[in-house]
């Protein structure tokens, strides 16, 4: 998950960053594209459109047959694989983890079971498809052969992690039940995810790894025809399967190049339909995030897609106590989260300074802003502007550049054009963000536009310690409001990010820190150790190595929190569960718990604690290599 707020806002929330590899982006294009293309363009084909000298144009002799891929999907019992790695979950919890497409089932962009091909476990269907494809099972044999006597054998590559060794062994047995020999190779992660080896060079027949799904599905670099890595293009792109379905490719680009949510949903639906029809990959299951709380704690409600589980901390309450205790095995180094981006630091920070929006179930909702400014509600406009040489723009490849002759941009009509001089008409987003009434600092000072202006100033200061300035670079200008608490954000021409409506700038106390140079913020105790609160709690004590103590902020706009006091207790990994079971800690969360174990399960069964197992953003899948050199 990306923790840095500047990265989070502008376009880096793609469906996935491959585990141990970098994530792919999407190029900004005009917003008036059709909602979805429902017929494949003329000449649609599964193979990349390349000349005879190009590599990877020969269909894989086994996996190039759609019937074989569909058979593998039918022969895959996802629930048994889930049970092998999560045996302590209930049947309902296990079933909730099953993936049918490349988008989690709880996600706003999921097409719905009724709109895609769902491969329910059916060995007989799988066997029938293999027979139809010419792979028969000789009497007394364990594995199928074709007419030439070649055995149906496939190399399956994944990492050596114990987790994958467990479920991969189950899958190998499932394939054997259908007469398919799977030869497992558990490769070192350094090779499998290397820049010049493994997945990056399409060196596999069947390959398993994980993607990290997030609030914006992205996917253009994964599933578009022009994102297939080849020696001839320098191995650019993440579509290592070699899947080229023109209808899907067109719609994955539409989904990423329009800002209208309904249009995006329609396009993603078509991509998922084609994806499940063609089976270039077998989605398996979401990995879990585990939480455990005291049995008498109420209000705790982790949810899929919500990065920070304490989004509703003001609702947590332990019956019969005035204090809630959260256990951390890692202590924050600082609460200046622009620089200290650790997950635990962000959890502690958001107790005193909650986010301006939530994204429960992968969907964004306004929290401290009056509304998320969308094109639909008029809070954002997407204007046509004339752009001339020397203007900073986002080019057709998504880079921030100075417009000059030879630069390619997307014009207002969505066409990729080369700038040759004069002017070009481009799109420019302008959004108005307003903070809710009554938001107040713990010292009684109302939050003002000056606090947002300070957020802009510090987050974009080169000497602040920030690790990224991508949002600053994409900002053409900010007008801070005098008639309300808020600002008007103007992006540079060419920014067409689907998350344009997400609040941009942090809120810092200008009346306290307005004169402190940015270079001093990281070492200033008022920033790093005792930051002022506008949230439900204020930080009243930090005993290093022991605890952070919070008390109710009487100026919190939401009223008194359910519990007057809140404590983050620093514990050891060895003592954490014992402290929870002994009642000294009320919550252990996903950053502490590796998963549901026998001890926690037994305590939950006895009613001593409550456990929560959520479908996390990370999901396992098996990719199919459709072509060979």
Cα 77 to Cα 79: distance, rounded to the nearest angstrom: 6
**306 shares a domain with 279:** no
What band does 253 get if pLDDT is binned at 50, 70 and 90?
Answer: confident
Other residues' Cβ atoms within 10 Å of the Cβ of residue 326: 27
279 and 158 share one domain: yes
* 502 occurs within a structural domain: no
The residue range of the domain holding 586 is 296-362+525-607
Is residue 115 predicted with pLDDT exceeding 50?
A: yes
pLDDT bucket at 260, cuts 50 / 70 / 90 = confident
Q: How far apart are CA 221 and CA 25, in angstroms?
A: 7
330, 332, 321: which is closest to 296 by C-alpha?
321
Task: Please tell me the predicted confidence (pLDDT) of residue 454.
Answer: 98
On whether residue 568 sits in a domain, the answer given is: yes
Same domain, 465 and 549: no
Residue 615 counted as domain residue = no
Same domain, 379 and 323: no
Q: Are 32 and 485 in contact (CB under 8 A)?
A: no
How many domains does the chain fold into?
Answer: 3
The answer to whether residue 514 is domain-embedded is: no
Question: Has residue 580 got a pLDDT over 70?
Answer: yes
Do residues 280 and 174 both lie within one domain? yes
Q: How many residues does the chain have?
A: 629
Residue 101 pLDDT > 90, yes or no?
A: yes
300 and 384 in one domain? no
Half-sphere exposure of 306 (CA within 13 A, CB side): 20
Residues 92 and 123 in one domain: yes
- Domain assignment present for 504: no
- Tell me which residue of 113, 115, 132 sits closest to 124, measured CA to CA: 132
What is the DSSP secondary structure assignment for residue 226, as one 8-state letter?
Answer: G
Q: Quick one: 403 and 348 in the same domain?
A: no
Q: Token pair for residue 285?
A: 């299951």
Q: What confidence category does residue 535 fall into, taking pLDDT thresholds of 50, 70 and 90?
A: very high
**Could you tell me if residue 606 is left (phi over 0), alpha (psi between -120 and 50 degrees) or otherwise beta?**
alpha
pLDDT band, very low/low/confident/very high, at 9 (cuts 50, 70, 90): very low
- CA dist., res. 336 & res. 328, Å (int): 18
Percent of the chain at pLDDT above 70? 91
Q: What is the pLDDT of residues 54-74, one digit of tens each?
A: 789 999 999 999 999 999 999
Confidence of residue 256 (pLDDT cuts 50, 70, 90): confident
95 and 181 assigned to the same domain: yes
pLDDT exceeds 50 at position 353: yes
Determine the pLDDT at residue 149: 96
Query: Looking at the predicted structure, is the pLDDT value of residue 592 above 60?
Result: yes
- Give the span between the Cα atoms of 274 and 356, in whole angstroms: 37
Whether residue 43 lies inside any domain: the answer is: no
pLDDT of res. 25 = 28
Distance separating alpha carbons of residues 147 and 136, to the nearest angstrom: 8
- Do 16 and 157 have their domain in common? yes
pLDDT given for residue 258 in this prediction: 84
Provide the mean pLDDT of the chain: 90
Give the per-residue pLDDT at 53. Answer: 52
Residues 192 and 301 in one domain: no
Return the HEC string of 264-290.
HHHHHHHHHHHHHHHCCEEEEEEEEEE
- In terms of domains, do 134 and 71 share one? yes
Distance CA 336, CA 338 (A): 6
User: At 46, is the pLDDT very low, low, confident or very high (cuts 50, 70, 90)?
Assistant: very low
pLDDT of residue 33: 34
What pLDDT is stored for residue 16 in this prediction?
35
Which pairing describes strands 627-628 and 58-59: parallel, antiparallel, or unpaired? Answer: antiparallel
Task: Look at residue 109 and tell me if it is in a domain.
Answer: yes
Quick check: helix, strand or coil at residue 614?
A: strand
pTM recorded for the entire structure: 0.82
pLDDT in tens, 375-389: 999 999 999 999 999
């Amino acid at each position: 998950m990306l923790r840095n707020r500047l990265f989070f806002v502008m376009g880096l929330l793609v469906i996935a960053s491959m585990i141990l590899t970098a994530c792919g982006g999407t190029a900004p294009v005009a917003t008036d594209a059709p909602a979805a293309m429902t017929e494949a363009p003329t000449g649609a084909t599964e193979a990349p459109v390349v000349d005879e000298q190009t590599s990877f144009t020969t269909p894989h002799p086994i996996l190039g047959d759609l019937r074989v891929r569909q058979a593998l999907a039918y022969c895959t019992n996802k629930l048994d694989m889930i049970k092998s790695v999560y045996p302590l979950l209930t049947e309902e919890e296990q079933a909730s983890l099953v993936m049918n497409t490349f988008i989690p089932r709880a996600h706003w962009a999921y097409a719905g079971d009724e709109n895609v091909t769902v491969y329910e476990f059916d060995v007989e269907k799988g066997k029938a498809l293999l027979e139809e494809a010419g792979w028969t099972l000789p009497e007394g044999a364990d594995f199928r052969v074709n007419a030439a006597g070649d055995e149906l054998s496939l190399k399956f590559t994944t990492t050596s992690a114990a987790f994958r060794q467990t479920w991969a062994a189950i899958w190998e047995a499932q394939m054997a039940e259908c007469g398919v020999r799977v030869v497992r190779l558990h490769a070192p992660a350094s090779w499998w995810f290397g820049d010049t080896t493994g997945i990056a060079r399409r060196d596999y027949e069947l390959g398993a790894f994980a993607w990290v799904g997030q609030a914006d599905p992205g996917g253009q670099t994964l599933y578009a025809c022009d994102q297939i890595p080849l020696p001839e293009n320098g191995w650019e792109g993440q579509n290592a399967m070699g899947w080229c379905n023109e209808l899907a490719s067109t719609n994955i680009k539409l989904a990423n190049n329009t800002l209208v949510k309904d249009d995006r949903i329609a396009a993603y639906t078509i991509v998922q339909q084609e994806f499940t029809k063609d089976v270039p990959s077998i989605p398996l299951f979401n990995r879990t995030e585990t939480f455990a709380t005291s049995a008498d704690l109420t209000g705790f409600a982790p949810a899929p897609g919500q990065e920070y589980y304490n989004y509703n901390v003001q609702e947590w309450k332990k019956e019969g106590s005035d204090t809630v205790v959260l256990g951390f095995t890692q202590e924050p180094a600082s609460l200046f989260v622009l620089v200290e981006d650790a997950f635990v630091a962000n959890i502690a920070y958001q107790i005193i300074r909650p986010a301006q929006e939530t994204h429960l179930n992968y969907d964004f909702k306004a929290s401290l802003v009056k509304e998320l400014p969308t094109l639909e509600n008029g809070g954002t406009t997407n204007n046509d502007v004339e752009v001339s040489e020397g203007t900073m723009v986002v080019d057709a490849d998504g880079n921030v550049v100075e417009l000059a002759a030879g630069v390619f941009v997307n014009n207002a009509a969505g066409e990729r054009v080369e700038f040759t001089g004069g002017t070009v008409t481009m799109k420019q987003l302008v959004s108005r963000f307003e903070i809710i009434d009554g938001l107040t600092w713990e010292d009684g000072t109302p939050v003002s536009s000056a606090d947002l202006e300070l957020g802009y100033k510090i987050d974009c200061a080169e000497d602040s310690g920030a690790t990224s300035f991508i949002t600053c670079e994409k900002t053409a200008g900010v007008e801070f409001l005098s008639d309300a608490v808020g600002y008007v954000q103007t992006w540079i021409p060419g920014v067409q990010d689907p998350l344009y409506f997400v609040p941009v700038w942090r809120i810092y106390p200008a009346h306290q820190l307005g004169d402190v140079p940015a270079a001093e913020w990281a070492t200033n105790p008022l920033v790093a150790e005792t930051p002022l609160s506008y949230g439900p709690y204020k930080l009243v004590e930090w005993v290093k190595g022991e605890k952070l103590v919070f008390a109710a902020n009487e100026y919190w706009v939401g009223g008194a929190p359910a519990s007057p006091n809140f404590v983050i207790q620093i514990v050891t990994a060895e003592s954490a569960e014992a402290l929870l079971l002994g009642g000294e800690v009320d919550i252990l969360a996903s950053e502490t718990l590796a998963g549901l174990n026998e001890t926690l399960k037994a305590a939950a069964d006895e009613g001593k604690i409550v456990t929560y197992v959520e479908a996390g953003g990370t999901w396992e899948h098996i990719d199919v290599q459709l072509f060979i050199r």
